[in-house]
A = this chain, B = another copy of it.
Amino acid sequence: MHKPTLSNRIRVYRAEHRLSQADLAAAIGVSRKTINTIEVGRFVPSTIIALLIARHFEVPVEEIFSLQR
C-alpha cells in the first residue's frame, strides 16, 4: 500500500483570476507561505484549506487537487 501524492492546479487558476499568492492567501484567510508551499507541492493541505481554495475559484476540489498514482 503506497500512499498517493497530490498535484494541484492552483497556479493555473490564480493566473486566470489574476491573483498573486498573497492575494489568494488573504482572500481565504491563510498565510502566503501556506499558499506557496501547497502550490509548489511541498505540503498537503488540510481539507478545510482545499475547500476554501476550490470555493474561491468556484470549482470542485477535484478540479484543483488530484491524486497521483
A residues 15-69 touching B (CB-CB < 8 Å): 29, 44-52, 54-55, 60-62, 65-67
Number of interface residues of A (CB under 8 A): 23
| Copies of this chain per assembly | 2
Q: Which of A3, A45, A48 counts the most B-chain CB atoms under 10 A from its CB?
A: A48
The reply on A1 being an interface residue by CB < 8 A is: yes
Query: By the criterion CB–CB under 8 Å, are B47 and A50 in contact?
Result: yes
The residue of chain B having its C-beta at the shortest distance from the C-beta of A68 within the complex is B48
A45 surroundings in chain B (CB, below 8 A): 46-47
The residues of A with any CB-CB pair to B shorter than 8 Å are 1, 3-6, 29, 44-52, 54-55, 60-62, 65-67
